[in-house]
Amino acid sequence: MAWILVTGAAGFIGWKTCELLLAEGHQVLGVDNLNDYYDIRLKVWRRDQLACHSNFKFFNLDIENYGALKLLFEAFPIEAVINLAARAGVRASIEDPWVYYRTNVEGTLNLLELMRKKGVKKMVLASTSSVYAGSPLPYREDLPVSRPLSPYAASKKAAEVLTYSYHHLYDLDISVLRYFTVYGPAGRPDMSYFRFIKWIDEGRPVIVYGDGTQARDFTYVDDIARGTVKALKPLGYEIINLGGGKNPVSINTLIEKIENLLGKKAQVEYREFHNADMKVTWAEIGKAKELLDWQPEVELDKGLSITVSWYLENRDWLKKIPV
Active-site residues, by number, are: 152
Cis link prior to 138 (omega < 30° from 0)? Answer: yes
What does the CA dihedral 295, 300, 306, 308 come to, rounded to 10 degrees?
150
Residues 6+ apart with CB under 8 A from 199: 205, 206, 207, 266, 323
Q: How many C-beta neighbours within 10 Å does residue 165 have?
A: 13
Whole-number Å distance between alpha carbons of 170 and 109 = 13
Q: 188, 16 in Cβ contact below 8 A? A: no
Are 173 and 167 in contact, with CB atoms under 8 Å apart? yes
Torsion of CA 19, 107, 177, 31, to 10 degrees: 0
Q: How many Å apart are CA 266 and CA 288, to the nearest integer?
A: 36
- Rounded Cα–Cα distance for residues 304 and 162 (Å): 36
Distance in angstroms (rounded) separating the CA atoms of residues 135 and 115: 33
